[in-house]
Amino acid sequence: MRVALLTYSTKPRGGVVHTLDLAEALARLGARVTVWTLGRGGDTGFFRPVDPAVHLRIVPFATFDGEPVGPRIMRSISALRAAFTPDEYDIVHAQDCISANAVDRCIRTIHHLDAFTTPELARCHERAVITPYARICVSAAVAREVCAGWGLRPTVIPNGVQYDRFADAAGDDPEIVGARDEWRRRLGRYVLAVGGIEPRKGSTDLLEAFALLRREHPDLNLVFAGGETLFDYHDYRRRFDERAAKLGIGPEVLGPVAHHQLPSLVAAADVLPFLSIKEGFGLAAMEALAAGVPVVARELPVLREIFRDTVDYAATHEQMAAGMARALRPDSGRIDRGRALAAEFTWERAALAHVDFYRRHPTRPSR
């Protein structure tokens, strides 16, 4: 089976992480997998090493300072479309709206739904839902949204998680302990948000909740990791910084963290708040559970579906702060349940489900 997986970036965003992990798992099952992406800003490789069994096609894509989001999206679609060679594959599987718009016939994974105001993005999002001939969602909650909005019925195949990578980061090996201790020396005791400062991640809500938490726990620090994105969030970031200054909070903003350092950063955290307004699965939170780190999640149907009784749920700033305060006194039973849940979501299981789906929905049906 010749499979093309298409994504839009080489950076460590959730959809890109999903694409690489799925590609490697499919290759282990014997599929001939090629990952196509755009090499933005001169990138010639992904943010992490990729199994050599997976072929990589990185299409050069120049970046221009000051280019508006809409034109950049349209140029991204055109560049990927011009380079892609669909006749080489039995399965063409797009992982986002850019790559789904760049090909004529494809399977699409809809990780989550957005409400874009930029006209080009809104049209791109709509086409990427309705034009693929078959669809996958990583949670039943998102599949229900797709059904309610368009009358379509995607197949649900949950994410996998690199469980061992994060579970091992919480282990007792001296080198592993040293990596966690190094983060704590640098950051002190900290609350960790993964995914950067942006509207979808609920960053300003976390800021308000952290201000309440710090009244009782002044020794805690607020840390943000990640943040690579196609979008321009300068206005949101400016409002975030202004509010942080007014609240007297100076968050540590790490930006993208090296792939090999992320597990120890997560494992050394006191709590991981996961307050996204929109999510499809919640990979960063599941990785935290694998590392034995308590999670406080926003009250969303999708997160209730995925995380069950392993995390605290909160809807208001007060509830978010209270949940984080409880997490500072870890519940060993809940932590064990969280680890067990994270271990259920293997990439082998996800890849097997994809192979079955591909066999039932070939891009090039036999005549």
The predicted structure's pLDDT at residue 367: 44
d(CA 63, CA 50): 24
Is 163-344 in CATH node 2.60.40.10? Answer: no
The predicted structure's pLDDT at residue 117: 76
d(CA 288, CA 339): 9
Global pTM value:
0.94
The predicted structure's pLDDT at residue 229: 66
The predicted structure's pLDDT at residue 219: 96
Tell me the residue type at 152: L
Task: Give domain 2-160+347-360's CATH number out of 3.40.50.2000, 3.90.220.20, 3.30.450.20, 3.30.70.260.
Answer: 3.40.50.2000
**Going by C-beta distance under 8 Å and a sequence separation of 6 or more, which residues neighbour residue 80?**
6, 8, 36, 38, 59, 98, 99, 102
Give ranges for CATH 3.40.50.2000 in the chain.
2-160+347-360, 163-344
d(CA 136, CA 155): 5
**Strand ordering across the sheet containing 272-274:** 272-274, 295-298, 312-314
- Could you say which residues of the chain have pLDDT below 50? 367
The predicted structure's pLDDT at residue 366: 54
The predicted structure's pLDDT at residue 233: 77
